Chain A
Amino acid sequence: EVQLVESGGVVVQPGGSLRLSCAASGFTFDDFAMHWVRQAPGKGPEWVSQISWSGSDTYYAPSVRGRFTISRDNTRNFLYLQMSNLRPEDTALYYCAKGSYDVSYMDVWGKGTTVTVSS
């Protein structure tokens, strides 16, 4: 069974840092690009970042560029999102998602991990 399980979401103060993790299983992890997508309460999804299968190419939404870093460990089948200088508007449910064969659609999603930025 293809599965993505996120972890690492907590309550953090503005300006703080956090690393999210995503454990992948049930598919050949290093064959696919991976994404982070977030969803604020009551809002639609917002794409955050994408990383290529090898990890050599990374892309970011303007709202997080320079503050977030996506990475992957293909030996352990893990995806990461390092988040720094967090703002209240970063509060959301963060999903890890597998890129489709078209790369830039997301065809498998985890259940998400909640990040709350508040003092």
Chain B
Amino acid sequence: EVVLTQSPATLSLSPGDTATISCRASQSVRTYLGWYQQKPGQAPRLLISDVSERAPGIPGRFSGSGSGTDFTLTISSLEPEDSAVYYCQQRSNWPPLTFGGGTKVEIK
């Protein structure tokens, strides 16, 4: 099973800042890694698939990079509505599909 480790656990930033979230895989997942956003009381929402492909309706402020075992989600020009928990998910070596433990982004 591929274990995804996210860091940091929590990020506290101000509006307009840039958030950088890391996801490290226990083995190569090639470029088969996606990102989700989850706000309190809501289901997760797909942001990015296969490293860098934004889902429909996702603003360009959200971008992804990486390959193999190291991946990054970058959120530029943070807005208050970006407060959420962000999860990575791999689809390279499955079943099972696996998620990371999450990174909470707080906007001060």
Contact = CB atoms under 8 A, between A and B. Distances in A.
Interface of A: 35, 37, 44-47, 50, 59-62, 95, 97, 100, 102-107, 109-112
A61 B43 contact: no
Contacts of B97: 35, 47, 50, 104
B50 interface: yes
Interface stretch (B11-19, B65-73, B88-96): B88-96
B94 A45 contact: no
B44 A45 contact: yes
The 3 closest A-B pairs by CB, nearest first: A109-B43, A104-B91, A47-B97
Contact of A50 (B45, B46, B95, B101): B95
B102 interface: yes
A45 B99 contact: yes
A72 B97 CA distance: 20
By size class, the interface of chain B is: 20 to 34
Contacts of B46: 100, 105-107
Interface of B: 1, 32, 34, 36, 38, 43-46, 49-50, 55, 85, 87, 89, 91, 94-102
B1 A62 contact: yes
B91 A44 contact: no
B43 A95 contact: yes
Contacts of A102: 49-50, 91
